[in-house]
Amino acid sequence: MEIEGRSARKRRAIVEAARTVFLRSGYAGASMDEVAALAEVSKQTVYKHFADKERLFTEIIVGDIKTTEERSDEIIESLPASDDIDGDLRALGRQIVVNVMQPRLVRLRRIIIGEVDRFPDVARTWFDSAPGRSYAMLADRFGTLHSRGLLHTPDPMLAAQHFLWLVLSIPMNKAMFEVDENPFTPEELERFADEGVRVFMAAYGR
């Protein structure tokens, strides 16, 4: 097992503290002093690892993008090659809505949207790696299901976009503008997913 060195431990503590501060206060409201205090290191140590607040923010967002990307891949790859399309899509929709509506991800999405003018590349990377990647993976699955005669999705990419919008748009739009970042119960989220799949199948089912 590789032993984490002192410098690596401090860097990890800084990143974890900064994530907490950014999620709590946003980019503009966060300070390097607050990050240093929470990480229990000196402000000089913070600047030794990260030249400025912008680079620290970018490091955190890129790391969280990677984590979100990996989780999204796992969920969509779980769509099995079976004939129970309705049941499989309901299960998929429920997993997606529960994952995306995690309060931490809702808060992160708010921050990225609020800082899109300051960090356009970060916002673009988030879109390409999160919703954009999910669209592409779902489109690939829907193309296969279309060729098997199980769905009518001649435009798989548009079908993928419709699917995710039907499942996510109501809870996500509400969460973007609510003080409460998790305004729905698990049962309500499942209902949004199930109804979204019902409408999707009415349009794309065989």
**pLDDT given at position 65:** 78
Question: Tens of pLDDT along the chain (206 residues)?
Answer: 445 588 889 999 999 999 999 989 988 899 999 999 999 999 999 999 999 998 898 888 888 877 877 787 888 887 777 779 999 999 999 999 998 898 888 888 888 898 999 889 888 988 888 889 999 999 999 999 999 999 999 999 999 999 999 999 999 999 888 877 678 999 999 999 999 999 999 999 98
Q: What is the rounded distance in angstroms from the CA atom of residue 35 to the CA atom of residue 17? A: 6
**pLDDT given at position 181:** 67
Angle at 100 between CA 126 and CA 97, to 5 degrees: 140
CATH 1.10.357.10 maps onto the chain at 53-204
**pLDDT given at position 4:** 59
Question: DSSP character for 3?
Answer: P
CATH 1.10.10.60 maps onto the chain at 1-51
**HSE value, Cβ hemisphere, 13 Å, CA-based, for 50:** 23
**pLDDT given at position 1:** 43
Fold held by 1-51 = Arc Repressor Mutant, subunit A (1.10.10)
β-sheet bridge partners, residue 205: 151
Q: Are 109 and 25 in contact, with CB atoms under 8 Å apart?
A: no
Q: Which CATH number fits domain 53-204: 1.10.357.10, 2.40.320.10, 1.10.1660.10, 3.40.50.720?
A: 1.10.357.10
**pLDDT given at position 76:** 86
Question: DSSP character for 4?
Answer: P
Backbone angles phi, psi at 205, to 5 degrees: -75, 160
**pLDDT given at position 198:** 98
